[in-house]
């Protein structure tokens, strides 16, 4: 045992000696900093490097100011309508297949004046017999429809209150830039006062080029879901730059793409309704389209962006100003025109008799022409659910029927209606509303649900008025 302990002690001493020799003779000198050190932590948020006075870091943008300015001016809009669909077989047999019951839809709206004017989407209030608006403080009011523009999906409604309301001022949607931060404020899935943030992803986006009414939306990736329709798209100053309207989705819920009617267009529609009672729509008086490779090759065009003029309407502002077939529209009032939706988006914010400056490219030469916009008039319209085509009445035609309003049936479309001699008869009212133009007929029909009945007031050749109900 003593021998073992002796050997262990010798081994320990040998190890100490070896380690000491290494420290003294072999290990290089090192300097040890005795001061207290802190770990070098890298923050997980992303910051831009400020390289100029105009560069703003993403983390420096404050959404709270815009949210506080706008959340109390966005309302919850509930609408009630009538359905005649029976709920069960008992109702079907008892009531001859018709049973009235209340249906409800919901969306959002934006207060734009302190005395209660509210802008929303037409599809939010279409077909409603009653409207109810709930403010952010949970107070509810009955609302009335002031006017609508189904083509632009904009409606103006109003509530009456003795209190001054919070409202959102209009901003300039033409000045909004791609990549700019925006907030969407609304009531998705009945979740009131919801704010989401994103950027402007694109401008002048058209969702339906098959329609003769080319649209021009602001596209954003701020989350918008069912119930957001009619709500506000605002910039970081809290200014209204769009009315949230639609999403593109295979599921019905938000998948990254949302669209808003530009505020300049919405503002013009609202002002028209208040001042004139309807929308005053100006047109340039051309047909054409966005330049594409085929057009470049066919017409030997030297530019890849703009709107190609395919035809010019007689007696239009474009014709009088000197626009010609083959011209390429490059700018309007200094605004670059890259595609047809750029053109219609800007022109739709103008009125008849407004003068705009149009820069065109004609055989490699640029010309600037002042164009006076004409009034938009629809000559014919098919009321598909009734089975007739209507047109605006010729001059003095209504006097024969002792009327000051109405549209003329120009053609029977369905086999059922062709059995009657309807050509030349007058439709004076639709659903109890007097109609003076084909455009008014279209607006009424566009504002209805697909399964709603249509009541037509028809004036026959003897001047007698009769009502007919067309059930869908």
> Residue 430 pairs with which residues in a beta bridge?
433, 456
Query: Average pLDDT, stretch 198-218?
Result: 79
Residue 98 pLDDT greater than 80, yes or no: no
Tell whether 312 is covered by a domain: yes
Same-domain pairing of 127 and 74: yes
Q: Is residue 76 annotated as a catalytic residue, yes or no?
A: no
Picking from 247, 276, 305, the residue at the C-terminal end of a domain is: 276
Q: State which H helix or E strand residue 70 sits in.
A: helix 64-70
How would residue 117 be classed by pLDDT, with cut points 50, 70 and 90? very high
Q: What are phi and psi of 202, to 5 degrees?
A: -165, 165
Same-domain pairing of 180 and 235: yes
The 10 Å CB-count burial string (b at 16+, else e) for 434-466 is: ebbbbbbbbbbbebbbeebebebbbbeeeeeee
> Residue 111 pairs with which residues in a beta bridge?
118
- Would you state the pLDDT for residue 93? 52
Picking from 232, 252, 276, the residue at the C-terminal end of a domain is: 276
Instruction: Report which of 444, 445, 461, 443 is spatially closest to residue 151, judged by C-alpha positions.
Output: 443
Tell whether 206 is covered by a domain: yes
Residue 85 pLDDT greater than 70, yes or no: no
- Would you state the pLDDT for residue 298? 79
Residue 228 pLDDT greater than 90, yes or no: yes
Tell whether 49 is covered by a domain: no
Residue 446 pLDDT greater than 70, yes or no: yes
- The secondary structure of 263-303 as a DSSP string is HHHHHHHHHHHHHHSS---EE--EEEEE--HHHHHHHT-S-
| Percent of the chain surpassing pLDDT 90 | 56
Tell whether 1 is covered by a domain: no
Distance of CA 301 to the CA centre of its chain: 33
Same-domain pairing of 269 and 229: yes
Tell whether 388 is covered by a domain: yes
Same-domain pairing of 342 and 393: no
User: What CATH number did the domain enclosing 457 receive?
Assistant: 2.30.42.10
- Is the pTM of the predicted complex or chain greater than 0.95? no
**The dihedral of CA 312, 314, 317, 321: what is its sign?**
positive
Q: Is residue 229 annotated as a catalytic residue, yes or no?
A: yes
Instruction: Report which of 143, 134, 255, 127 is spatially closest to residue 187, judged by C-alpha positions.
Output: 134
Same-domain pairing of 131 and 222: no
Residue 440, both tokens:
């008014």
Same-domain pairing of 291 and 348: yes
Tell whether 385 is covered by a domain: yes
Same-domain pairing of 136 and 224: no
Number of structural domains the chain divides into: 4
Between CA 410 and CA 15 the distance in angstroms is 115
Contact assessment for residue 411 and residue 388, using Cβ atoms and an 8 Å cutoff: yes
- HSE-CB at 19 with a 13 A cutoff on CA atoms is 6
Residue of 108, 152, 216, 229 marked catalytic: 229
How would residue 219 be classed by pLDDT, with cut points 50, 70 and 90? very high
Tell whether 32 is covered by a domain: no
Same-domain pairing of 203 and 223: yes
On the 0-12 / 13-18 / 19+ scale of CB atoms within 10 A, 335 is middle
Host domain of residue 181? 173-276
Same-domain pairing of 147 and 200: no
Picking from 375, 394, 429, the residue at the C-terminal end of a domain is: 375
Residue 116, Ramachandran bin (φ over 0: left; ψ between -120 and 50: alpha; else beta):
left
Residue of 123, 206, 349, 447 marked catalytic: 123
Q: Is residue 431 annotated as a catalytic residue, yes or no?
A: no
Instruction: Report which of 345, 338, 343, 431 is spatially closest to residue 383, judged by C-alpha positions.
Output: 431
Contact assessment for residue 467 and residue 455, using Cβ atoms and an 8 Å cutoff: yes
- HSE-CB at 299 with a 13 A cutoff on CA atoms is 23
* Most confident of the ranges 199-213, 231-245, 275-289, 407-421: 231-245
Contact assessment for residue 268 and residue 261, using Cβ atoms and an 8 Å cutoff: no
Residue with tokens 């409603």: 128
User: What CATH number did the domain enclosing 135 receive?
Assistant: 2.40.10.10
Residue of 108, 149, 152, 153 marked catalytic: 153
When the pLDDT of each residue in the chain is averaged and rounded to a whole number, the result is: 83
How would residue 59 be classed by pLDDT, with cut points 50, 70 and 90? low
> Residue 78 pairs with which residues in a beta bridge?
106, 132
Contact assessment for residue 227 and residue 189, using Cβ atoms and an 8 Å cutoff: yes
Query: Average pLDDT, stretch 334-338?
Result: 95
Residue 136 neighbours by CB under 8 Å, 6+ apart: 71, 72, 74, 75, 192, 193
Tell whether 25 is covered by a domain: no
């Amino acid at each position: 045992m003593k021998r073992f302990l002796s050997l262990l002690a010798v081994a320990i001493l040998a190890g100490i000696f070896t380690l000491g020799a290494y420290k003294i003779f072999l290990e290089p000198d090192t300097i040890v900093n005795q001061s207290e050190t802190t770990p070098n932590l890298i923050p997980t948020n992303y910051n831009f490097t400020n390289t100029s006075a105009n560069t703003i870091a993403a983390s420096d943008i404050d959404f709270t100011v815009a949210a506080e300015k706008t959340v109390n001016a966005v309302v919850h809009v509930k609408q009630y309508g009538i359905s005649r669909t029976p709920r069960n077989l008992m109702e079907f047999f008892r009531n001859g297949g018709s049973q009235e019951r209340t249906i409800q839809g919901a969306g959002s709206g934006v207060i734009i004046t302190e005395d209660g004017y509210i802008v929303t989407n037409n599809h939010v209030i279409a077909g409603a017999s009653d409207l109810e608006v709930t403010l952010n403080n949970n107070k509810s009011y009955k609302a009335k429809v002031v006017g609508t523009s189904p083509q632009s999906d904009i409606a103006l409604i109003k509530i009456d209150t003795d209190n001054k309301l919070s409202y959102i001022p209009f901003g300039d949607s033409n000045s909004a830039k791609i990549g700019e931060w925006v907030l969407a404020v609304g009531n998705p899935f009945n979740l009131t006062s919801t704010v989401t943030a994103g950027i402007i992803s694109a401008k002048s986006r058209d969702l339906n080029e098959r329609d003769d009414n080319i649209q021009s939306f602001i596209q954003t990736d701020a989350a918008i879901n069912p119930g957001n329709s009619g709500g506000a798209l605002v910039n970081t100053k809290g200014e209204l730059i769009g009315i949230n309207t639609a999403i593109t989705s295979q599921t019905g819920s938000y998948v990254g793409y949302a669209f808003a009617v530009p505020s300049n267009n919405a503002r013009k529609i609202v002002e028209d309704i208040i001042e004139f009672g309807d929308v005053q729509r100006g047109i340039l008086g051309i047909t054409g389209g966005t330049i594409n490779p085929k057009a470049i090759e066919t017409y030997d065009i030297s530019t890849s962006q703009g709107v190609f003029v395919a035809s010019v309407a007689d007696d239009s502002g474009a014709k009088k100003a000197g626009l010609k077939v083959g011209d390429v529209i490059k700018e309007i009032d200094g605004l670059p025109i890259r595609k047809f939706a750029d053109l219609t988006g800007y022109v739709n914010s103008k009125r008849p008799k407004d003068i705009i400056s149009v820069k065109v490219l004609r055989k490699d030469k640029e010309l600037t022409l002042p164009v006076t916009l004409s009034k938009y008039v629809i000559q014919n319209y098919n009321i598909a659910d009734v089975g007739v085509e209507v047109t605006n009445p010729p001059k003095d035609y209504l006097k024969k029927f002792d009327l000051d309003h109405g549209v003329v049936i120009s053609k029977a479309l369905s086999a059922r209606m062709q059995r009657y001699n309807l050509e030349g008869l007058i439709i004076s009212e639709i659903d109890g509303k007097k109609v003076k133009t084909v455009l008014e007929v279209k607006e009424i029909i566009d504002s209805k649900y697909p399964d709603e009945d249509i009541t037509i007031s028809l004036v026959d050749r003897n001047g007698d008025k009769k009502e007919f109900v067309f059930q869908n």
